[in-house]
């Protein structure tokens, strides 16, 4: 009986390990110096930023005056807007709730108001990946989903470079745009550090335009503060099988659990 129980436990452990997402990159840098303090995996290959793009879009939105404060503008949900995020996506939304609940249609409303030339100009100036807002070839949907498994691509290293600029207030935008973006970024706690960050999750698109829900990308990017010190981080994962939770949330939870080992 004991042997049978042991074999069962080993089988369950092996299945759990097999199902765990692959960590493609974990990168932690010192915000003051830019030095890498922890680097594991491929941190230079670009992929979709998914909802981590909301941090860059917030900077651009504040800079251009579309966003005017943590609670302005308040925009209404409209029939036909993406609603798969549940009740938090089907009500009036302000910038703080936009980031907290990762509301896709609010991002679309900002990008549509600003337009592709403005988004491209700012993304290039900030060094945000390939700054490509064209969308899926032939579909003209860049302002709706360029950042969701489409044309906009960024590497983990480029993510940390952008975030370092955000926390050191050195991006080529006004100090107010960066300050207001930092203020609405969601915060957590891990190992005595205040962790500020944004999740992102997206699924590869197959040739028939269906999505591969068993290979979702997960991001968690941001910065951590403790006793006057600031570190910037990016973690990128890819699932091995379909999961009931967002790849981004799984990645966030894994980073927070690992943080005491990652922060020297």
The string of DSSP codes covering 123-139 is HHHHT-TT-----STTT
Rounded (10°) angle between helices 175-184 and 156-167: 110
Does 249 have pLDDT greater than 60?
yes
Looking at residue 13, what is its pLDDT? 43
Query: Which is nearest to 20 in space by CA: 248, 255, 243?
Result: 243
- Taking only the tens place, the pLDDT of each residue in 48-72 is 999 999 999 999 999 999 999 999 9
Query: Which is nearest to 136 in space by CA: 209, 200, 81?
Result: 209
Q: Is 51 assigned a catalytic role?
A: yes
Looking at residue 1, what is its pLDDT? 45
Of 16, 51, 151, 155, which one is the catalytic site residue? 51
- Taking only the tens place, the pLDDT of each residue in 172-213 is 999 999 999 999 999 999 999 999 999 999 999 999 999 999
What is the mean pLDDT of the segment spanning 102-108? 98
Distance CA 35, CA 164 (A): 11
The set of residues, in sequence order, having a beta carbon less than 8 Å from that of 140 and lying 6+ positions away, is none
Q: Tell me if 173 sits within 8 A of 167, measured CB to CB.
A: no
Pairing of strands 217-226, 193-202: antiparallel
Does 11 have pLDDT greater than 50?
no
Looking at residue 264, what is its pLDDT? 82
> Which neighbouring-strand residues pair with 195?
188, 224
Alpha-carbon distances of 121 from 71, 90, 151, 170, rounded to whole Å? 26, 31, 16, 17
The pTM for the full model equals 0.92
Is residue 200 left, alpha or beta, with left meaning phi > 0 and alpha meaning psi from -120 to 50?
A: beta
């Amino acid at each position: 009986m004991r042997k049978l129980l042991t074999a069962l436990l080993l089988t369950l452990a092996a299945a759990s390990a097999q199902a765990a997402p692959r960590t493609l990159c974990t990168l932690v840098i010192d915000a003051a110096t830019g030095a890498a303090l922890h680097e594991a995996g491929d941190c230079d290959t670009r992929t979709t930023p998914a909802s981590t793009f909301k941090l860059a879009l917030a900077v651009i939105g504040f800079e251009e005056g579309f966003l005017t404060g943590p609670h302005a503008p308040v925009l209404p949900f409209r029939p036909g807007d993406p609603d798969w995020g549940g009740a938090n996506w089907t009500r009036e939304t302000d910038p703080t709730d936009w980031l907290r609940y990762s509301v896709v249609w609010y991002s679309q409303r900002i990008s549509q108001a600003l337009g592709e030339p403005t988004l491209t100009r700012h993304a290039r100036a900030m060094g945000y990946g390939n700054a490509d807002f064209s969308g899926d070839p032939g579909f003209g949907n860049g302002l709706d989903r360029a950042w969701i498994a489409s044309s906009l691509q960024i590497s983990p290293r480029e993510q940390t470079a952008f975030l370092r600029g955000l926390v050191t207030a050195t991006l080529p935008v006004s100090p107010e745009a960066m300050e207001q973006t930092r203020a609405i970024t969601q915060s957590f706690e891990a190992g005595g550090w205040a962790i500020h960050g944004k999740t992102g999750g997206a699924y590869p698109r197959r040739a028939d335009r269906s999505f591969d829900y068993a290979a979702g990308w997960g991001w968690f990017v941001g910065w951590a503060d403790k006793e006057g010190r600031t570190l910037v981080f990016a973690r990128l994962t890819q699932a091995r099988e379909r999961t009931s939770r967002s790849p981004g949330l799984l990645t966030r939870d894994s980073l927070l659990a690992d943080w005491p080992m990652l922060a020297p």
